[in-house]
Chain A
């Protein structure tokens, strides 16, 4: 068989909807399933940006990474590499299959893919991961093609049975129907025959106007068990004989454990054991209460290590110093120095963004049972194969002896792309006889997170005599998450996360001369990681704040100014006009109120937001309303898109208004929701989301809502108060003095 998966899967993102000419056999295999029925094995792309299916083929060997099983009972099972963490993927991905296969959505059962880096690697990360707003983007075409292939073959099998022309038959609701005779055969009766017929060379995908499921707000399949307490998250796992543990790592990053006096702890009823690690202590108990009390009763001596005197001020000083150095060139269009020299006006601004914790509502937890020759792990992870690998490392057992049981995630936002807590749980469990559930307290969760990096940016622009930009220079200093998390993606001093929204893709504006530079500056000791919206939450804030500053310098309306620069980005223009119109842009507001706008193209989607704020004399900021317009290509589930935008907006607003992790004496100063403030319902705006009808391939929706929010908010604060916010979170004390 000719096996060349590249050709087809690289078409993701091209926007074509009718793929009837593609050869199915290049990416798909059909075989008899073990235990009867039909198995379709196919390939989801591993990367969107590089348009490669790296590692998917070795010579002529085909490594599929997704599977659909149709049983003799007609049940359709999708073995899915993505995990559910609230984004609705357990509903939207099966919708793609159900649509083309002509089965009811409720007849598609999900099975979580086992940990297997080679087979289930996908998405931008090239490892088995759910994140980066990639699931629907990656699955859109291959899942529909797989469904359509199966449907075509089921129809052929029925036609052969009846000895009629396949074109006289159609598939509907899990059966094949011969229109003229009215004969019907259920899929389950056909699967064994299908396994024996060749894969067709040409398969017709349904035309968008024939979609009966895609584009509808199908009900989420995971909701019913989440309103009655039945849904099981990692922290809810109960295994017979299980103990509960809680843990304290050295409060200073990079510090180690010297010793522990546990005499008080061992007096506490329910405490069973104290486990020492190189950099942490765990108390193993019958329940969390005893474990927590036991931990509090320990007298621990730490070697605080090299970062004992580290402070936020020192980290910021290093970043500011880095910003003075030229960086690696991320993008260079035209001659910026020449254009800058010829500019009528020059504008410069510095921006800063803080460290942020994820603060998922479910603190991280992991249950591990280490036995002599095998191990079971129950955890909610965005990176299941990595989770398995780290447990194999710690226990010394082969990977195939580590049985992973993935659970629902009580929020991900990037936190569960890390395996630090899984490594630690395995280290603890190795010293415990029987299964142990390790649960972090909220304080541990906030003080030992992997943080969204601190960033410093310097923006410079030259404007012509009409106030329009002729030169654009953006220099950014901060941590590269990829350099640690997936080193191959950090190439020549750059990575895709650093670039997105600043250099590749660039801002959507026509900027004739443009220079984007990146200076990698890692904070000493502080681990940095992905956080909802990742690179774009940083780049879009800087770019959209600065473009607003240019509009102000040109004394032009922020929406008009942007529109004048969006001539080459028609989709960006449409979302901006739509958001501005629905928000009533330009209509008068009471004193102290203002509107701000942002527009972006990141994660493959176009988003514009208009935020309305009210700034009180005491510097308090209230946000009554956010209007959001989205063009994310074809919409699979409109209600899910809206929900993700709403959630993304709230997440971005919480961070921009309130959230900040600061370091003193090598320690995180915040510890719980009392001092790591997030958004509450009384602070939540009314949100309107408008979707642009589009035939383009789907873009991501999990994160764009977050990245667009902060600049629209701070631009609104500028409109309301005249104060330009260049440092997040919004400093209300500064705003108060400015309001006097």
Chain B
């Protein structure tokens, strides 16, 4: 049994210690906003925040996040930065199929929390790990810059 703090709430899951956080979220807790894409930390669609840092939940054993604060796409909109990112995403119509966008938004929100005014190189560094096959990259870049503007 492992106790996890997810989106501000404690919850318990009866899972093996080495089970990746991704599958605990999706298949045990029913939180399907975090997506499965590759299982080897190559595509980034499973990104969640652990103590504010973006991590790939598909390779993070659940035992490694015990006692830490986990945030997922389901509640990132409750943070100021997350809400700004989501709004910028809608304002610029970033989304196409939408499957990778949870991961993209989690990466962008983490970037802006750490660097409120990222330049192109910062955006490349933070976002290059998250693949979009629909090819929304130019709009992702523009939306991050829009979200970085003072409201």
Contacts and interface: CB of A to CB of B under 8 A. Distances in A.
Do A and B belong to a common assembly?
yes
Interface of A: 85-88, 217, 219-220, 222-224, 226-233, 235-236, 238, 244, 269, 286-289, 292, 359-363, 408-413, 439, 441-442, 639, 643, 646-651, 654, 672-674, 678-682, 684-687
A361 B35 contact: yes
B36 A363 contact: yes
Contact of A244 (B27, B43, B72, B137): B27
Given A223-B89, A227-B77, A362-B99, 9 more contacts: A87-B96, A88-B96, A288-B26, A361-B99, A361-B132, A643-B136, A647-B96, A650-B134, A673-B42
A439 B97 CA distance: 19
Given A220-B93, A220-B95, A244-B27, A226 B137 contact: no
Cβ-closest 4 pairs across A and B: A229-B33, A650-B135, A86-B97, A410-B99
Interface string B26-57: 11101111111111101101000000000000
B95 A226 contact: yes
A679 B135 contact: yes
B110 interface: no
B149 interface: no
Contacts of B129: 680
B137 A639 contact: no
B101 interface: yes
A238 to B, nearest CB: 6
User: What is the predominant secondary structure among interface residues of chain B facing chain A?
Assistant: loop
A441 B43 CA distance: 13
A288 B27 contact: yes
B124 interface: yes
B118 to A, nearest CB: 12
A246 B151 CA distance: 46
Contact of B101 (A227, A673, A680): A227
A647 B134 contact: yes
B19 interface: yes
Q: Which of A217, A220, A227, A411 has the most CB of B within 10 A?
A: A227
Contacts of A408: 97-98
A287 B30 CA distance: 11
22 contacts: A86-B95, A223-B90, A226-B98, A226-B101, A227-B95, A229-B32, A235-B36, A238-B30, A360-B97, A412-B97, A439-B36, A442-B37, A442-B38, A646-B135, A649-B135, A672-B42, A674-B40, A679-B131, A680-B128, A681-B123, A682-B125, A682-B128
B116 to A, nearest CB: 19
A233 B32 CA distance: 9
Nearest to A289: B23
A639 B37 contact: no
Given A360-B133, A361-B97, A361-B133, A681 B127 contact: yes
Interface in B91-134: 93, 95-102, 105, 123-125, 127-134
Nearest to A359: B133
B138 A229 contact: no
Contacts of B133: 359-361, 411, 413, 651, 654, 678
B10 interface: no
B37 A228 contact: no
A674 B90 CA distance: 31
B135 A288 contact: no
B40 A672 contact: yes
A681 B137 contact: yes
Contacts of B95: 86, 220, 222-223, 226-227
B96 A681 contact: no
Given A236-B32, A359-B133, A681-B123, A646 B93 contact: no
